Every structure is written in structure tokens, then in C-alpha cells.
Chain A
Amino acid sequence: MIRVELPFHLRTLAGVTGEITLEIEGPATQRSVLDALEARFPMLRGTIRDHMTFRRRPFVRFFACQRDYSHEPPDSPLPDEIASGAEPFLVVGAIAGG
């Protein structure tokens, strides 16, 4: 089980209020997590990755286990804590400050 945390506006768009849990077959990677997310919530297509290139949108960032995965290759394995559901995969709107 993979846990995914979305920013406020994407939670609203997807009609969810908290974390999302996904089942993924095979290794947990950015691509496999986002593929599963978009398959379950098609309204999110194009909001995190470009429709055609599947590149991350410029103002969206990915974090996992307190590390920035935004610039990692999409097929690189995510940490075991993400794959096991111990830690959430964070999709974050890029905003300076906090």
C-alpha cells in the first residue's frame, strides 16, 4: 500500500479530504505511483505531469522521507518506507517560505 498526500487544491479537485492509499504492482517509483493515482483520479491528469510528455509541471515538487525527489528519474525506486506505506509520498505545490 502506497500513501500519497496531495496539496489542498488537488485534494479538492479529486474530491478527497485526506491521504490517498494506492495499491501498486511492481516496484514503487514516481511513475508507477503517479500512473496509479491518475488511473484512479482521472481529473488529476495534466495537473501534476504534462499530458503528453509526462514531465513534472514546473511548480510541482515531489518529496519522500524528508528528501526532494523532484529531479530524480521517474523510474528510480522510491524508498522502502514509501513502498511499505510507512511514510507518505508528498506532492507539493512549489511555494517559497511556509
Chain B
Amino acid sequence: MSSVRVLVGTKKGAFILTSDASRKKWEVSGPHFAGWEIYHAKGSPVDPKRIYVSQTSGWFGQIIQRSSDGGKTWEQPGTPPGEPMTTPEGFPKGESNKFVYDTSPATGKPLTTHQFYDGTQHPWEFKRVWHLEPSLVDPDAVYAGVEDAAIFRTTDGAKTWHELSGLRGHGTGPQWQPGAGGMGLHTIVQDAKNPQRLTIAISAAGVFRTDDGGKTWAPKNRGLTSKYIPDPNVEVGFCVHRLASHPSRPSTVFMQLHWNVCRSDDAGDNWRNVSGNLPSDFGFPIAVHAHQPETIYVLPILSDSLHYPPEGKLRVYRSRVGGNEWEPLTNGLPQKDCYVNVLRGAMSVDTLDPCGIYFGTTGGQVYGSSDSGDTWAPIVRDLPAVLSVEAQALP
């Protein structure tokens, strides 16, 4: 009998929602790491019991937590007994929380400033980990997307982290600038067929891709448009909100841009608008059905100034043809007086059949559908504001 685990990161801790495959009755555990902002929690595709968590605080900085038993117990990598991480003098290192930008003469020397809100140059300053992307093949390997935007990697179960500095150093770094929520690297998409290829997104710089395992990167924003960017050939500057791709078709990538829903069928080399009949093409999350690569989901938000659903109706929109033609999914969702937002990391699908889909709101509700979005029900209603949702199907 398979089951589902949904990892929920909130402004005040992490919660774990579990159910059997029927996805009708749910158990809620938490808060884990109570009082801390949990930007992201995600399990390893190779070992679902291995979960990585980004725990963060404006006061006390960044913490990485790891579980090897599906979230029953947690540890900071490198600190528990039996996992010695010591200096030559014998002192514990506590390196798992250490995200230090590459400033080495060989690879990091020129990586000094980005563009600030006011257009001036500003030094890179680490603030937090927005996104953790466990490797598709190794439970000890994880990518981390951080603010100020950069990508780090661990290959030792998160005991130590090292920047893939070719991203910041490829040339356009001084032109990147923060979006309203900060200059975060918030999306990391692995190519299931090509382990050397990663596609990432940064607000507000855009999409970048590596085809050599992270050594070199190139902007991939051709075809994107923004009324604030008059030059149609500009390389960077786009406030990409989220990317999603189906593992069987890694060259097809879907995007929720600041405004516009877009798709690429050449791994990001070219993008086109597929917003079609959406009531608003502004929004944050985007997800792909687990078994139908052309079925995608977005959650329209009224505008960049009004972060709530149009008409006070919470509607997921589904396209079964990869965009342009969208249908509202409303059964079980509030259709009046609803003014919550759904953030970019707060929508996820499971791989059961039929596909389950989940999203969390800034009002603390987590909604789930066990029939690909046809009907919905709240799993929990009164959590703190939800920052991230990740679903895991368990054997």
C-alpha cells in the first residue's frame, strides 16, 4: 500500500502531512523547528526518508536540517555523534550552515557586486537558502538556491557546501537585481535524461542553464517580454517566478513569469507566451501533472500590486494541451471573499495514479486534490503562512 507525505514549510515552522493512497484522511505532525521560517523542505527522490530542510531567521541566520527517517528525527549535518567534522585542533566545525561565496582568485575574484533596487552596484550578501533540490541519483548530493542569488552544492549529505560560481561569474552578474522578495535563486530543475544539465531561475535576473554540470552557464531568456524592459534582445532582467518540467520531456519547460505563462520546447533556448484565456496571467507557482506531460497547473493572482485571486475566487487553472487553453478548477475551493496568495514554492504534485496536487496559501490553508484537480478539499486550514509545499509518494 503506497502513501503520501506532504512537506509544508511555513513562516513559523515545518509541518508534515501524511495519508494513505486514498488521500482522504490526513495526519498532521509539527510544528517542526517551531518559530523559524522554513523556506523549503524536500525529500530525496532516491531515498524518500532522507529529507533536507532550509530553516532560517532574520536574527540567527541559516540552518540546514536533515532527516534520515522521514521526518521523525532531525539533525544538523556534521554535528551528531558518529559524524565527526572537526578542525585539526579537534573542535567541531558546524559547517552545514556555512554558505560562503567563492572569492578565490581563480574563480571568484570578479564576482563582487550586483545591481541594487536603486540601480547602484551592491555587494553580494548571503541571506538564506530559498530552495533545496536533492539529486536524482545520490541521496547525499543536493543543490541549494540562495539569496543573494547563487547556487551551491553538497556531495556529503549537507555537511559542507560549495558554490558553483560559474553562474554568478558568467558575465551578467552585475546586471542582476532583486525582485520584490529579494534576489533569490528559487528554482532548480534537473534534467532526468542529462545529469550535466540544470536549469535555474532567479528573481529578477531570469533563467540560466548549464550543460556541463555547473561549470559554465548561459542566460536563457529569449522570447520573454516585460513592459518594463523595452529592449527585446536583452539577456537578463526578467522576474521569472517559477519553472516546471516533466521528467519524461526535460526539453519542455513551463514558466510562470511575473506576467505571462510561457513554455519552451528547446530547454529554454526560446520561450513563447501560452497565457491564452487565463483571467490573469500574473501568478507565482506552476506545476506539471505527474503522468500527462502536457497537463499543467497555475494559480492566477490579480496583479503584481494586488496579490490575491481575481474576484476573490480561489481557482487553479489547468491546461491539458500545454497552455493557451485553460479551464478553472473550483470544486471544493472558496469561491467568494478569498484574498490569500499562493507563493512560488507552494504547489506540488505526487506521482500516484490518479495524480495528486497540493498547494498552500498565505492564509495557512493547504488544499489537496486526489483526482488531478477535479475536486479539492482542505487538508489543514489554520497553519502559519505557507512558504513551500512538496509532495512525496512513498512505496
B234 / chain A contacts, CB cutoff of 8 Å: none
- Contact indicator A42/B78 (Cβ below 8 Å): yes
Question: Which of B59, B62, B97, B98 is packed against the most chain A CB atoms within 10 Å?
Answer: B59
B residues touching A (Cβ–Cβ < 8 Å)? Answer: 34-36, 57-63, 76, 78-79, 85, 91-95, 97-98, 100
Partner of B94, one of A12, A38, A93, A94: A38
Complex interface residues of chain A between 41 and 73 (CB less than 8 A to chain B): 42-48, 51-52, 57, 59-60
- Contact indicator A39/B79 (Cβ below 8 Å): no
Q: In the complex, which residue of chain B has the Cβ closest to the Cβ of A10?
A: B60
CB distance from B85 to the nearest CB of A (A): 8
15 A–B contacts from the bound complex (CB under 8 Å): A8-B35, A9-B36, A9-B57, A9-B60, A39-B91, A43-B63, A43-B97, A44-B94, A45-B93, A45-B95, A46-B61, A46-B94, A57-B60, A60-B60, A93-B60
- Contact indicator A51/B100 (Cβ below 8 Å): yes
- Contact indicator B59/A59 (Cβ below 8 Å): yes
B78 / chain A contacts, CB cutoff of 8 Å: 42
- Contact indicator B60/A42 (Cβ below 8 Å): no
Partner of A46, one of B34, B36, B85, B98: B98
Question: Which of B76, B92, B93, B94 is packed against the most chain A CB atoms within 10 Å?
Answer: B94
Interface string of A10-37 (1 = CB under 8 A from B): 1011000000000000000000000000
- Contact indicator A51/B92 (Cβ below 8 Å): no
Question: Measured between alpha carbons, how far is A47 from B57 in the docked complex, in Å?
Answer: 9
- Contact indicator A47/B97 (Cβ below 8 Å): yes
Question: Measured between alpha carbons, how far is A57 from B58 in the docked complex, in Å?
Answer: 9
Question: Measured between alpha carbons, how far is A10 from B294 in the docked complex, in Å?
Answer: 47
- Contact indicator B94/A42 (Cβ below 8 Å): yes
A13 / chain B contacts, CB cutoff of 8 Å: 60, 63
CB distance from B94 to the nearest CB of A (A): 3
- Contact indicator A46/B97 (Cβ below 8 Å): yes
Question: Measured between alpha carbons, how far is A51 from B302 in the docked complex, in Å?
Answer: 42
Known: A10-B60, A59-B59. A39 touches B100 (CB 8 A): no
A51 / chain B contacts, CB cutoff of 8 Å: 97-98, 100
Known: A45-B97, A46-B97, A46-B98. A39 touches B92 (CB 8 A): yes
Partner of B62, one of A38, A44, A46, A93: A46
- Contact indicator A47/B63 (Cβ below 8 Å): yes
Partner of A93, one of B59, B92, B95: B59
Known: A38-B94, A42-B94, A46-B94. A52 touches B100 (CB 8 A): yes
Q: In the complex, which residue of chain B has the Cβ closest to the Cβ of A94?
A: B59
CB distance from B160 to the nearest CB of A (A): 12
Known: A9-B35, A9-B36, A51-B100. A43 touches B94 (CB 8 A): yes
Q: In the complex, which residue of chain B has the Cβ closest to the Cβ of A13?
A: B63
Question: Measured between alpha carbons, how far is A43 from B59 in the docked complex, in Å?
Answer: 15
- Contact indicator A48/B100 (Cβ below 8 Å): no
Q: In the complex, which residue of chain B has the Cβ closest to the Cβ of A8?
A: B35
Question: Measured between alpha carbons, how far is A93 from B58 in the docked complex, in Å?
Answer: 10
CB distance from B129 to the nearest CB of A (A): 12
Question: Measured between alpha carbons, how far is A10 from B60 in the docked complex, in Å?
Answer: 8
Question: Measured between alpha carbons, how far is A13 from B74 in the docked complex, in Å?
Answer: 11
Question: Measured between alpha carbons, how far is A60 from B62 in the docked complex, in Å?
Answer: 14
Partner of A59, one of B36, B58, B62, B63: B58
B79 / chain A contacts, CB cutoff of 8 Å: 42-43
A52 / chain B contacts, CB cutoff of 8 Å: 100
B95 / chain A contacts, CB cutoff of 8 Å: 45
CB distance from A30 to the nearest CB of B (A): 17
Partner of A57, one of B35, B36, B61, B91: B61
Beyond A12-B35, A46-B62: 6 further Cβ-contacts under 8 Å?
A9-B36, A9-B59, A42-B92, A45-B93, A57-B60, A93-B60
